[in-house]
Structure 1
């Protein structure tokens, strides 16, 4: 494998080609393991950025792709349809709240957010609410790397501040300060309540990640916040969008994060684990209010919309998840990670250790002295693949991981975090 060519010519996420970040060459993958070119293997504690909930090279998912490939790999969705899209659409409406009634298939998570924002905007415009031009969202939020998605990501601490002059300006409020297990305090909602009251007549929609803010800081917040936001959006007739690209399909311990609060958005974005990590695909679901409120053509249509291969493997992945004992498995993972990472609590450089569902986070007070490349090299040498960011070391292993494999991850992280200089 020509890694030298890679380092000279291939961009990787959030890197530059003048000082390329070192990469590990993966030869193949099986179960929870990545097999590197040098013959070593590492447990993928990241599920390839939340996606591979069933691990790698799963026979059921392989079969779904192979069978669909024998029929057709792709056909345009303009004026045509096919069984994988229809069956996947039925399944998504079956497993989400009954109020969600329509599905738009898109390419990726970022594009799903673009579609949701356009959908909300067109709905408002067609109701004659043409003065609505802004979205309300959280600081420390992350919704993707395309322009609409970037505009509702954190404008200061996020990854897109270099493009601020090119982005539409929206309204940002502080991220929720009420922890997932904290006793609810009404004042946690004061800023949102004030901002929505002041700006609802100019607000297209409220958009945020429910329960878990991912790349913005792995913040787990109270379900009560969602309940109150839903109530206020209804009071002021403002649409509510949930970005569940990362949290959907069991990651938080519920099939969808909004279930923690028993509230439902007007528009729901899904992606990442939708296909079990096999192919890029996302879906935007909306209720009848939005679907019927858009009476003219909705002007969005990706070339690979509802790709048959992706739809087929997504349907197989969802069925594989639902037919497994996934709730008990994730509950067991949560208890194990809480117990085994618990000895890090109280270390002078560790600010917090938190677990929700199949997500565990070790937050440091600072990353000023941390060499994350060296950290990755050390964990990889121990047989674990992680990718820290900012001051966060976090894991979200595949749901199929064995307890002994999970222990190997937690013990490796514990050992290396204890000797960090930061």
Structure 2
């Protein structure tokens, strides 16, 4: 599920040459201005005992720039340092290619090879896009996880809902619940037009105007891989509790910075998510913060939440870096025919590698989800009467 990002400036429908010229003018000013000053202490606990976990480039869009992720030696919080400014987050968020990123394209090629060029029958028969059934099942499972805590919520806000894929799936579990969506982009309006959410709210949860409209309205608030992308996770949690009714429930999924895959794969571990991810918060830190804010933490764990894609995503990112997207407007020149052919060859040659890695991901999933190899954990908390 997409998480809120700084709303990018509208990109006009320009020709490829004009878009390339616009990016060239922007990049001529340098990328250093997109970063805040480097901080010397942990934004979570204030410790000055930091170490650099990784330095990396933008492995998805391949826009110019270098990004550093530091780790606090005391509380294990991971954070981007120096952090992108709002202008920087907008720059790296906008201008996405009109085609899927390399990981998605390579995975699609692998799938076509496995199926002889045909999508699985279940996907073809579904009204969802062909790539969506797995995520649809995960969304349904997330919704079912709330049944034990809140079997009949009247109202539910999905924060960072994007086009409303989670509310769409959750309706099959909670058909009488009113689902609303919040996002910083206009995608949430498309979610409403498609009937996935009843109310569409544009903005950040911490915006005073948004809080004034939504205060105390919801029985459940969900945040799926949202806290990784916000500048201040604590402020986001406080805002989420304000829009909950007393006794309401908060469901949060977060990539686990202590996942063993993160250490083994380094910059190729997709949840490091640079430059989009600003924070990766350990479960102990998140639990303690919710308790400090007056919540009863009902469950914390990774069982059933792990997404089996670490090895396949790493392989796809590595292959994509060999011959990055050739026709991106932030590259100084259009691609040559040779470069296009080379990328096609690398993508096709890499398809079996990604397919094998994906099969291994799924084979290891039952074990990974119960060990330090789980890439995600979930917290369910209940707001206290005075929260």
Query: TM-score of the superposition, structure 2-length normalised?
Result: 0.31
Query: TM-score of the superposition, structure 1-length normalised?
Result: 0.29
